[in-house]
Amino acid sequence: MRLVELLNARWADMAESNRLISTTQTKNDKPRLVPLNVRALAILDPQRTGRKRRQLMVCFERTVTESGTGDFHFHDLRHTFATRLRAANVHEYDIANLLCHSTTPGETRNNEVTRGYAQGVPQRVRDAVDSLKEGQRLIRVRRL
């Protein structure tokens, strides 16, 4: 999720039973359902404190500083997310769907039209999110 989507989300928007967050305030004004993996649910559950933007950013910046990561911004998490999905061999359309992108890089008119007709398949998108751990493992192996 983009930072603004995350900050505007409410606990009432989350359906834990099917691991989804509903978001209506998106960059392209198209409401969407964001699937969560088990780890995301475990991280979110204790965070039911209603933190505000400033509190969230202070915690994020402190974590970046303590980790020694250096020049790392909240938006960089989207790059990490996409990279791990790509490493786990998730299809470009599914990655674009999860990132709420309306097009993919290098898209031609023909496959843009195809994408317009093809809707995201919920189970494929759920499987993609569940594959994040594998993508992370593969990236670590490649670096060694």
CB-CB neighbours of 45 under 10 Å = 10
Strands 20-23 and 32-35: antiparallel
Domain boundaries, the chain: 1-69, 75-144
- In the DSSP assignment, the letter for residue 41 is H
**81-126, pLDDT tens digit by residue?**
999 989 998 888 888 888 887 665 666 555 554 555 555 567 778 8
**5-49, pLDDT tens digit by residue?**
887 877 788 887 888 888 888 887 888 888 888 888 887 766 665
- In the DSSP assignment, the letter for residue 9 is -
Q: How far is CA 53 from each of CA 5, 23, 56, 58, 143, rounded to the nearest angstrom?
A: 11, 17, 5, 9, 34
